[in-house]
């Protein structure tokens, strides 16, 4: 075990040191079996007569499917079944539909067109893997190659090809906007006061999680019409729910066994192999294995997406950063998966662990003809952290300052207001910097060596939500008809100081008994929830909003990044679009719904277990779906 040094002298009064596990070396619970080779992974579950399933994949970045000729493959030895897109009962899904976030945008098998290299269009089930591979090679697809776009900034130009028809602007929708906005203070006026402007662009590449065990699943019929599925997934219930939805089977018929993952790191969340294997078992009545080989893992296994960040700082000569502006692009590939959500997490993290009084960010979730991107460790913040810390060095150079001292000078401290309007606590950047400097024999000036994250934070100035300049630039669809600068525009309206947000008005409670009593919340909350968004108060929790008088929708809005998964952007009241007219679209059929649903939610039918409505998976319980 590597040597760990515990600096228990720091924050000594904030912890009791009587814990049995934390701070002590421990052995991973599953490591003995892994090292001795006795762990049974999903692929070690052997079935008599196991069939093998393999996909026919696109060799093109973007192409329409004119025709698929399977006549040669059907009669090949060992071939049991050719699986076509029409065999998938509910062939459109998005991963986060299980928590009501985003629109269904990705087929399990694509029938009309492919939008990335390696996208599956049909599959073969055969007695042996080799027979399946041979049959896949014998299937002829007639492709009509389409122009593709691989660069995020090119993809948001008005004339860029449409990657994903569900999002015809090549951008995910965040409320009314085609990007996630963050506004805190007034960046534009602060930049004019600044002594120096420091700008940098940072580009990350996609990173494949590269697990030792590639993604896969084995499904087999069980008794009582159930299907058992041994899987490598790292998100068992995600995979279960996704399979139930795509295949339109009640989840009670699915018996999923997982929990032994040969390396995941975020790459085994996407739940592609489980529905495929279960579909194979349903169609053939036999055990079926669907397993990516290494090349598939690298080509179609969703990586951490590439990110591009442009950062502009307004800096004073003493090293104080008074304004920071971000323009971020997440390359989410051809389908959404988890990128849209990663952005929300990333934007909540801005401007990094620093107290900067004026922050603005426009962050785009861009569809390109690349492999869809998904989660990886440090979900949503690793890329932008790389950009921020590289930029801090650049700023230090620009003002001729020791880079560690610059960080301590601008570091957030306990009690400071963060840009996403939460008060910072348990901050420890200053102490980290001091220890790092000490370990690397890096000299710090006396005021930096003695600084503390416990002191000098939370002053009236540092704890306040400033008056914030906001703009309405970048509404959904605008970019299709005209070129708009991607960076945050100058504010045209202002939100008074102290106001956390007014845009995020939660839906009214459906029943009075859904109001959570403060005493029953697992953490400490004030008995009287902050109704008036007092300065310094944490943003109101959804539950506290019941009696809040909502500011009129015509008033200025401050979209900030504190949406939680239970109040996704789609649920924003559509009335807040005001007088804005949706510009004409290329694909009217695929335009996002503009439901003018201002009425509070009312169930259409009484609650009963499951529902039987066209277009809704039966396992979903009375959840509104579009």
Residue 17 DSSP code:
S
Residues pairing with 411 in the sheet: 354
Closer CB to other proteins, 137 or 444, in the complex: 137
Closer CB to other proteins, 267 or 491, in the complex: 267
Binding pattern to other proteins, positions 536-575, x when CB under 8 A? Answer: ----------------------------------------
By CB under 8 A, the residues from 349 to 408 that bind other proteins are none
Whose CA is closest to 434, among 398, 409, 455? 409
Closer CB to other proteins, 199 or 295, in the complex: 295
- State the minimum distance, in angstroms, from the CB of residue 445 to other proteins: 38
- State the minimum distance, in angstroms, from the CB of residue 431 to other proteins: 34
How many positions of this chain bind other proteins (CB under 8 A)? 8
Q: With contact defined as beta carbons under 8 Å apart, do 609 and 622 qualify?
A: no
Which of these segments, 128-136, 225-233, 372-380, 565-573, binds other proteins (CB under 8 A)?
Answer: 128-136
- State the minimum distance, in angstroms, from the CB of residue 305 to other proteins: 17
- State the minimum distance, in angstroms, from the CB of residue 129 to other proteins: 8
Closer CB to other proteins, 10 or 210, in the complex: 210
Residue 433 DSSP code:
H
Closer CB to other proteins, 136 or 218, in the complex: 136
Closer CB to other proteins, 30 or 293, in the complex: 293
By CB under 8 A, the residues from 440 to 479 that bind other proteins are none
Closer CB to other proteins, 126 or 396, in the complex: 126
Enumerate the H helices of 400-459 as residue ranges.
Answer: 403-410, 429-439, 446-449
Closer CB to other proteins, 124 or 229, in the complex: 124
Q: With contact defined as beta carbons under 8 Å apart, do 197 and 487 qualify?
A: no
By CB under 8 A, the residues from 130 to 189 that bind other proteins are 130, 133-134, 136-137
- State the minimum distance, in angstroms, from the CB of residue 138 to other proteins: 9
Whose CA is closest to 524, among 541, 511, 536, 507? 541
Q: Give the span between the Cα atoms of 331 and 368, in whole angstroms.
A: 7
- State the minimum distance, in angstroms, from the CB of residue 410 to other proteins: 35
Two tokens, residue 287: 């055990």
- State the minimum distance, in angstroms, from the CB of residue 76 to other proteins: 9
- State the minimum distance, in angstroms, from the CB of residue 43 to other proteins: 15
Place of tokens 């400071």: 416
Pick one of 144, 199, 293, 397: the residue that binds other proteins (CB under 8 A): 293
Closer CB to other proteins, 136 or 254, in the complex: 136
Closer CB to other proteins, 199 or 293, in the complex: 293
Residue 608 DSSP code:
-
Closer CB to other proteins, 52 or 312, in the complex: 52
Closer CB to other proteins, 166 or 209, in the complex: 209
- State the minimum distance, in angstroms, from the CB of residue 137 to other proteins: 5
Two tokens, residue 303: 């990586």
- State the minimum distance, in angstroms, from the CB of residue 1 to other proteins: 22
- State the minimum distance, in angstroms, from the CB of residue 75 to other proteins: 14
Residues near 110 by beta carbon (within 8 Å), at least 6 away in sequence: 58, 65, 85, 119, 120, 121
- State the minimum distance, in angstroms, from the CB of residue 80 to other proteins: 17
Q: Give the span between the Cα atoms of 103 and 615, in whole angstroms.
A: 13
Which of these segments, 126-134, 434-442, 507-515, 592-600, binds other proteins (CB under 8 A)?
Answer: 126-134
Q: With contact defined as beta carbons under 8 Å apart, do 94 and 271 qualify?
A: no
Mapping DSSP to helix (H, G, I), strand (E, B) and coil, where does residue 415 land?
coil
- State the minimum distance, in angstroms, from the CB of residue 134 to other proteins: 5
Binding pattern to other proteins, positions 243-282, x when CB under 8 A? Answer: ----------------------------------------
With residue 389 as reference, give the H or E element that holds it.
Answer: helix 382-399
DSSP collapsed to 3 states, 233-289: CCCHHHHHHHHHHHHCCCHHHEEEECCCCCCCCCCCCCCCHHHHHHHHHHHHCCCEE
51 binds other proteins (CB under 8 A): no
Mapping DSSP to helix (H, G, I), strand (E, B) and coil, where does residue 159 land?
coil
Closer CB to other proteins, 124 or 282, in the complex: 124
- Please tell me the number of Cα atoms within 13 Å of 307 on its side-chain side: 27
Closer CB to other proteins, 52 or 421, in the complex: 52
74 binds other proteins (CB under 8 A): no
Residues near 376 by beta carbon (within 8 Å), at least 6 away in sequence: 207, 209, 265, 266, 267, 303, 304, 382
- State the minimum distance, in angstroms, from the CB of residue 132 to other proteins: 8
Q: What share of the chain is helix, strand, coil (3-state, %, to 5)?
A: 25, 20, 55
295 binds other proteins (CB under 8 A): yes
Q: How far is CA 562 from the centre of its chain?
A: 14
Q: Give the span between the Cα atoms of 371 and 508, in whole angstroms.
A: 39
Torsion sign across C-alpha atoms 421, 426, 427, 429: negative
Q: How many residues does the chain have?
A: 626
Residues that bind other proteins (CB under 8 A): 129-130, 133-134, 136-137, 293, 295
């Amino acid at each position: 075990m590597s040597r760990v040094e515990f600096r228990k002298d720091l924050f000594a009064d904030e912890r009791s040191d009587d814990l049995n596990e934390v701070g002590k070396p421990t052995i991973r619970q599953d490591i003995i079996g892994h090292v001795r080779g006795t762990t049974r992974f999903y692929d070690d579950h052997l079935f008599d007569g196991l069939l093998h399933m393999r996909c026919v994949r696109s060799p093109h970045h973007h192409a329409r499917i004119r025709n698929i000729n399977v006549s040669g493959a059907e009669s090949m030895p060992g071939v049991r079944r050719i699986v076509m897109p029409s065999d998938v009962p509910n062939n459109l899904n998005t991963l986060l539909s299980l928590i009501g976030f985003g629109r269904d945008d990705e087929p399990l098998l694509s029938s009309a067109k492919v939008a990335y290299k390696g996208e599956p269009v049909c599959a073969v089930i055969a007695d042996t893997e080799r027979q399946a591979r041979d049959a896949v090679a014998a299937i002829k697809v007639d492709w009509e190659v389409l122009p593709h776009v691989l660069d995020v900034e090119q993809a948001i130009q008005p004339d860029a090809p449409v990657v994903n028809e569900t999002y015809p602007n090549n951008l995910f929708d965040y409320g009314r906007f085609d990007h996630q906005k963050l506004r805190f203070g007034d960046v534009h006026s602060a930049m004019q006061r600044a002594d120096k402007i420091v700008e940098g662009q940072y580009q990350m590449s996609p990173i494949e999680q590269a697990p030792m065990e590639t993604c896969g699943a084995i499904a087999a019929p069980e008794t009582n019409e159930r299907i058992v599925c041994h899987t490598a997934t790292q998100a068992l219930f995600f995979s279960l729910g996704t399979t139930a939805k795509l295949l339109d089977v009640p989840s009670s018929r699915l018996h999923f066994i997982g929990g032994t993952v040969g390396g995941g790191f975020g790459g085994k969340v996407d739940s592609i192999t489980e529905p495929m294997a279960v579909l194979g078992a349903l169609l053939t009545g036999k055990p079926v294995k669907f397993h990516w080989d290494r090349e598939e893992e690298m080509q179609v296994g969703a990586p951490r997406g590439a990110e591009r960040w442009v950062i502009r700082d307004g800096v004073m000569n003493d090293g104080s950063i008074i304004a920071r502006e971000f323009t971020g692009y997440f390359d989410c590939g051809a389908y959404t998966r988890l990128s849209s959500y990663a952005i929300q997490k990333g934007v909540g993290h801005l401007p990094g662990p620093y107290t900067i009084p004026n922050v603005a960010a426009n962050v785009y979730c861009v569809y390109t003809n690349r492999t869809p991107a998904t989660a990886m460790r440090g979900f949503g913040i690793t890329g932008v952290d790389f950009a921020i810390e590289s930029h801090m060095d650049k700023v230090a150079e620009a003002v001729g300052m020791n880079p560690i001292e610059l960080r301590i000078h601008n570091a957030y401290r306990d009690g400071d207001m963060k840009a996403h309007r939460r008060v910072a606590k348990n901050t420890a950047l200053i102490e980290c910097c001091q220890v790092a400097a000490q370990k690397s024999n890096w000299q710090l000036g006396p005021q930096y060596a003695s600084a503390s994250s416990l002191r000098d934070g939370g002053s009236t100035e540092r704890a306040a939500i400033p008056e914030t300049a906001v703009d309405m630039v970048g509404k959904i669809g605008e970019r299709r008809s005209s070129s708009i600068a991607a960076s945050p525009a100058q504010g045209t309206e202002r939100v008074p100081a102290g106001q956390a947000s007014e845009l995020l008005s939660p839906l009214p409670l459906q029943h009075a008994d859904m109001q959570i009593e403060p005493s029953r919340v697992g953490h400490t909350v004030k008995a009287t929830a902050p109704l008036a968004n007092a300065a310094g108060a944490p943003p109101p929790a959804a539950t506290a909003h019941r009696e809040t008088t909502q500011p009129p929708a015509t008033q200025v809005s401050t979209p900030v990044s504190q949406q939680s998964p239970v109040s996704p952007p789609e649920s924003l009241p559509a009335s807040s679009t005001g007088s804005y007219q949706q510009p004409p679209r290329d694909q009217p059929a695929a335009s996002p719904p503009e439901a003018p649903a201002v009425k509070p939610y009312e169930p259409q039918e009484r609650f009963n277990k499951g529902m039987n409505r066209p277009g809704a998976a039966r396992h979903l319980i009375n959840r509104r779906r579009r």
